[in-house]
Structure 1
Amino acid sequence: MEENIREIDTLVIGAGQAGVAMSEHLTRQEVPHLVLEKNRVAEAWRTGRWDSLVANGPAWHDRFPNMEFADNHPDQFVPKEQVADYFEAYVDKFKMPVETGVEVLSACRDQGKGGFIVTTSKGAFKAQRIVSATGPFQIPIIPAIAPKNPDYHQIHSAKYRNPEQLPEGGVMVIGAGSSGVQIADELQRSGRDVYLSVGPHDRPPRTYRGRDFVWWLGVLGLWDIAANEPGKEHVTIAVSGANGGQTIDFRELAKQGLNLVGRTQSFTDGVVHFNNDLADNINAGDQNYLSLLDRADQYVLANGLDLPEEPDARNLLADPECMVNPIKSIDLKANNITTVIWATGYATNYDWLKVDAFDENNQPKHHRGISTEPGVYFLGLPWLSRRGSSFIWGVWHDAKYICDQITIQRQYQQYQSVV
Structure 2
Amino acid sequence: MSTLFNNQEHLLEEKDYPVVVVGGGQAGLSVSYYLKQHGIEHIVLEKKFVAHSWAKDRWDTFCLVTPNWQCRLPDFPYAGDDPEGFMLKDQIVEYVQAFALKTRPPVVEGVSVNQVTRQKNGDLLVATSAGDFSTRHVIVATGGYDMPIIPPYAERLPKRIKQIHSVDYRNPESLPDGEVLVVGTGQSGVQLMEDLHLAGRKVHLCVGPAPRSPRVYRGRESTAWLMDMGVYGLTIDRHPLGDRARERTNHYMTGRDGGHEIDLRQFARQGVKLYGSVADIEGSTLRFLPDLEKNLDDADEVYVGIRKDIDRHIAAQGIDAPIEPEFVKVWRPEQEVLSLDAEAAGITTIIWAIGFRPDYRWIELPAFDGRGHPKYDRGVSNVLGLYFLGLPWLNTWGSGRFLGIAEDAAHLADVIAKREQAAAATSPQPALEEALS
Shorter-chain TM-score category? over 0.9
* Match status 1:202 vs 2:211: yes
Given that 1:185 and 1:258 are in contact with CA atoms closer than 8 Å, whether structure 2 keeps it comes out as: no
* Match status 1:372 vs 2:372: no
Deviation at 1:294, TM superposition (A): 0.9
SS in 2 for 1:186: helix
Deviation at 1:209, TM superposition (A): 1.9
After superposition, residues 314-325 of structure 1 pair within 5 angstroms as 314-320=326-332, 323-325=333-335
Given that 1:18 and 1:133 are in contact with CA atoms closer than 8 Å, whether structure 2 keeps it comes out as: yes
Given that 1:5 and 1:123 are in contact with CA atoms closer than 8 Å, whether structure 2 keeps it comes out as: no
Separation in structure 2 between the aligned mates of residue 31 and residue 234 of structure 1, nearest angstrom: 36
* Match in the other structure for 2:271: 257
* Match in the other structure for 1:361: 371
Match of 1:189 among 189, 195, 198: 198
Deviation at 1:383, TM superposition (A): 1.6
* Match status 1:100 vs 2:109: yes
Alignment deviations for residues 310-333 of structure 1 (CA, whole Å, 9 cap, x no partner): x23x2324324xx22222111111
Match of 1:280 among 290, 294, 319: 294
* Match in the other structure for 1:402: 412
Deviation at 1:191, TM superposition (A): 1.4
Separation in structure 2 between the aligned mates of residue 404 and residue 256 of structure 1, nearest angstrom: 53
Separation in structure 2 between the aligned mates of residue 293 and residue 335 of structure 1, nearest angstrom: 38
Given that 2:269 and 2:331 are in contact with CA atoms closer than 8 Å, whether structure 1 keeps it comes out as: no
Deviation at 1:254, TM superposition (A): 1.1
Separation in structure 1 between the aligned mates of residue 94 and residue 292 of structure 2, nearest angstrom: 40
Alignment deviations for residues 242-261 of structure 1 (CA, whole Å, 9 cap, x no partner): 12101111111112221111
* Match in the other structure for 1:238: 252
Match of 1:171 among 174, 180, 202: 180
SS in 2 for 1:300: helix
* Deviates further, 351-360 or 129-138: 351-360
Given that 1:200 and 1:236 are in contact with CA atoms closer than 8 Å, whether structure 2 keeps it comes out as: no
User: Using a 3 Å threshold, how does the CA distance of structure 1 residues 225 and 210 change in structure 2: closer, same or farther?
Assistant: farther
Deviation at 1:159, TM superposition (A): 0.3
Alignment deviations for residues 342-366 of structure 1 (CA, whole Å, 9 cap, x no partner): 0010011112211121122221111
* Match status 1:45 vs 2:42: no
After superposition, residues 76-95 of structure 1 pair within 5 angstroms as 76-95=85-104
TM-score normalised by structure 1 residue count: 0.94
Length, aligned pairs only? 412
Given that 1:4 and 1:123 are in contact with CA atoms closer than 8 Å, whether structure 2 keeps it comes out as: no
> AA paired with 1:275?
L
Separation in structure 1 between the aligned mates of residue 107 and residue 223 of structure 2, nearest angstrom: 31
* Deviates further, 62-71 or 346-355: 62-71
Given that 2:226 and 2:310 are in contact with CA atoms closer than 8 Å, whether structure 1 keeps it comes out as: no
Separation in structure 1 between the aligned mates of residue 248 and residue 389 of structure 2, nearest angstrom: 21
SS in 2 for 1:201: coil
Separation in structure 2 between the aligned mates of residue 280 and residue 62 of structure 1, nearest angstrom: 35
Match of 2:134 among 118, 126, 130: 126
* Match status 1:140 vs 2:140: no
> AA paired with 2:321?
L
Separation in structure 2 between the aligned mates of residue 377 and residue 406 of structure 1, nearest angstrom: 10
Separation in structure 2 between the aligned mates of residue 353 and residue 325 of structure 1, nearest angstrom: 49
Question: 5+ residue gaps in structure 2?
Answer: 1-11, 433-437
Deviation at 1:25, TM superposition (A): 1.4
SS in 2 for 1:146: helix
> AA paired with 1:46?
A
User: Using a 3 Å threshold, how does the CA distance of structure 1 residues 247 and 292 change in structure 2: closer, same or farther?
Assistant: same
Given that 1:9 and 1:31 are in contact with CA atoms closer than 8 Å, whether structure 2 keeps it comes out as: yes
Alignment deviations for residues 40-63 of structure 1 (CA, whole Å, 9 cap, x no partner): 101000001111100111111133
Structure with greater proportional helix content: 2
Deviation at 1:307, TM superposition (A): 2.6
SS in 1 for 2:205: strand
Separation in structure 2 between the aligned mates of residue 161 and residue 54 of structure 1, nearest angstrom: 13
Given that 1:55 and 1:62 are in contact with CA atoms closer than 8 Å, whether structure 2 keeps it comes out as: no
> AA paired with 1:229?
L
TM-score normalised by structure 2 residue count: 0.90
Separation in structure 1 between the aligned mates of residue 321 and residue 41 of structure 2, nearest angstrom: 48
SS in 2 for 1:195: strand
Deviation at 1:276, TM superposition (A): 0.9
Separation in structure 2 between the aligned mates of residue 62 and residue 158 of structure 1, nearest angstrom: 23
Separation in structure 1 between the aligned mates of residue 220 and residue 17 of structure 2, nearest angstrom: 46
Question: 5+ residue gaps in structure 1?
Answer: none
* Deviates further, 278-287 or 227-236: 227-236
Given that 1:251 and 1:317 are in contact with CA atoms closer than 8 Å, whether structure 2 keeps it comes out as: yes
* Match in the other structure for 1:334: 344
> AA paired with 2:251?
I
> AA paired with 1:318?
V
Identity %: 36
SS in 1 for 2:190: helix
Match of 2:403 among 383, 389, 393: 393
SS in 2 for 1:136: coil
* Match status 1:114 vs 2:122: yes
CA RMSD after TM alignment:
1.9
Given that 1:5 and 1:126 are in contact with CA atoms closer than 8 Å, whether structure 2 keeps it comes out as: no
Deviation at 1:83, TM superposition (A): 0.8
